[in-house]
Amino acid sequence: MAKNQNPEHTEGPVASAIEEQTAKLPSDIFLWSALGSMAVSLFLQYQGSKNRSLFVGQWAAPFLLLGLYNKIVKLEGHD
């Protein structure tokens, strides 16, 4: 784990606590969540619920971003 090279920019206790807990989650959860939201979106589209389909389909990108953040925290650690 690398030390924080810039002591002026440290994380608060809430961010550190969240990162410590989320680092325990396997990264696969976020990938499967993204794929699941795409599958549910496809099903809703097939059922004719276009607005709901678009709403649920937009969850995939945030799940993937959360997975990326989780992976970075696991590799680089937190302050």
pTM here is 0.75
Q: Can you list the pairs that 66-72 forms with residues at least 24 positions away whose Cβ atoms lie under 8 Å?
A: 66/30, 67/27, 67/29, 67/30, 67/31, 67/34, 70/22, 70/23, 70/25, 70/27, 70/30, 71/27
Q: Using CB atoms within 10 Å of the CB of residue 26, give its burial: 0 to 12 exposed, 13 to 18 middle, 19+ buried.
A: exposed
pLDDT tens per residue, range 8-47: 667 788 888 888 888 888 889 999 999 999 999 999 999 9
